[in-house]
Structure 1
Amino acid sequence: MTTFTPVQSGDSKSDTSRLRRLYGQYPTGVAAVCALREGQPVGIVATTFTPVSMDPALVSICVQHTSTTWPKLSQEAHLGVSVLASTHETACRQIAAKNVDRFAGISWFSSDSNAVFLAEAAAWLDCRISTSISTGDHDLVILEVNSAAVNDTTQPLVFHDSRFRTLTTSEEGA
């Protein structure tokens, strides 16, 4: 039988580690959220990208309060969300890194709205911020989707158990 133990917010490092491990058991997609700022691409990685609504078309991301890039991105009228492909692991790590040229050697393009997208992503969404709610140690950001495209030739990158993974098709689902 499974034993459930209480978790107290901010109680201890062991509770934080347990929560990180618990949350890591839920596989998520990985998205790059980017825009042009003063003519240069700026971006962050979100492993919390989630579809929210079909009508209106809404998606969400969660951004840590400690992010130094999000305050810059959040001022832009349009944000490009690239659902990263299984081939984007290196680009993902680079865009998430601190104190580096996050876009050096990465193939990207921008829209007329200054949203920035990674080439060869699994999907692209041109969005604007609809709502931002400060909650816990993150901001929950609801994005309204203005336009979107899907790349049927690639599989998405998946984050699970603190590792990048790829999807496989089961024989039953084939």
Structure 2
Amino acid sequence: MTAVDERPPATAPAELLRRTLRRHAAGVVVITAAGPAGPVGLTATSFTSVSLEPALVSFYLSTTASTAPAVRAADAFTVHLLHRGQEELARTFARSGVDRFAGVPWSAGPHGTPLLDGAAARLTARRVGLHPVGDHLLVVGEVLAADAEGGEPLVHHDGGFGGFAPGAGEGPWR
């Protein structure tokens, strides 16, 4: 049996997690909602499916994010799955202290959420859960509508953006 090293780590746990998760490639989305003072949006890589029956999706949001109060108050949100050519859109919605919708083509959707033009896919969900988890909020929604145009997905890895081409690698899943 291997001995367990019980000394405290030299690096803080939050920094260890941040450094380790930079190695995890993740799809990039922009999430929008209708806020009391107008539309809000944010870039995220924490989006995932939760359940097929019922159709549920989720994402995480920092409790200190400028968009957190509006997301807490919103009844619905739209997730825009970005394609490889939308790196600048991802950067725009990741910035603080700016009008993220300035110069971005969008329209109001049937559920009141902003719909951004040109996403690879979109889905709109009715918020059914909001749970504090550490320093984040877990937001869960039931899918109301979805559409897909396609295209190579935008991926975030090791602090930068890139893409993914299906079938480009070797292995048994080809």
TM-score (norm 2): 0.85
- Structure 2 distance, partners of 1:171, 1:111, is 38
Residue 126 of structure 1: how far off its partner (Å): 1.0
RMSD of equivalent CA atoms? 2.4
Runs of at least 4 residues off by over 4 Å: 4-8, 171-174
Which residue of structure 2 aligns with residue 48 of structure 1?
A: 46
**Separation in 2 of the partners of 1:66 and 1:41?**
18
Q: CA separation in 2, counterparts of 1:168 and 1:24?
A: 20
C-alpha distance in structure 2 between counterparts of 1:76 and 1:150, whole Å:
24
Compute the displacement of 1:131 (Å): 1.0
- Structure 2 stretches lacking a partner, 5+ long: none
Secondary structure at 1:74's aligned position in 2? Answer: helix
Find the partner of 2:145 among 147, 151, 154: 147
Paired residue for 1:24, among 22, 28, 35? 22
From 77, 84, 93, the equivalent of 2:91 is 93
Mark the structure with the bigger radius of gyration.
Answer: 2
Instruction: Specify the alignment match of 1:167 in structure 2.
Output: 164
Per-residue deviation, residues 18-57 of structure 1 (Å, max 9, x unmatched)? 2112112221111111123358321111110011111111
* Separation of aligned partners in 1, 2:122 and 2:101: 17
Change (3 A) 1:52 1:13: same
Q: Percent identity?
A: 33
1:114-165, Cα deviation, whole Å (9 max, x unpaired)? 111221111111111111111111111111111111112x222111112111
CA distance in structure 1 between the aligned counterparts of 2:36 and 2:140, rounded to whole angstroms: 24
Give the counterpart letter for 2:94 in structure 1.
Answer: A
Q: Given residue 137 of structure 2, which amino acid in structure 1 is its aligned partner?
A: D
User: SS of the counterpart of 1:102?
Assistant: coil
Q: How many equivalent residue pairs?
A: 168
Indicate the SS of the match to 1:105. Answer: coil
Quote the Cα distance in structure 2 between the aligned partners of 1:45 and 1:134: 19
Residue 104 of structure 2: SS of its match in structure 1?
Answer: coil
Deviation, structure 1 residue 73: 2.5
AA matched with 1:157: L
Deviation at 1:171, TM superposition (A): 6.0
Contact 1:43 1:73 in 2 (8 A): no
SS at match of 2:15: helix
Q: 1:94 to 1:6 in 2, by over 3 A?
A: farther
- 1:105 equivalent in structure 2: 103
Tell me, in whole angstroms, the C-alpha distance in 1 between the residues paired with 2:113 and 2:7.
40
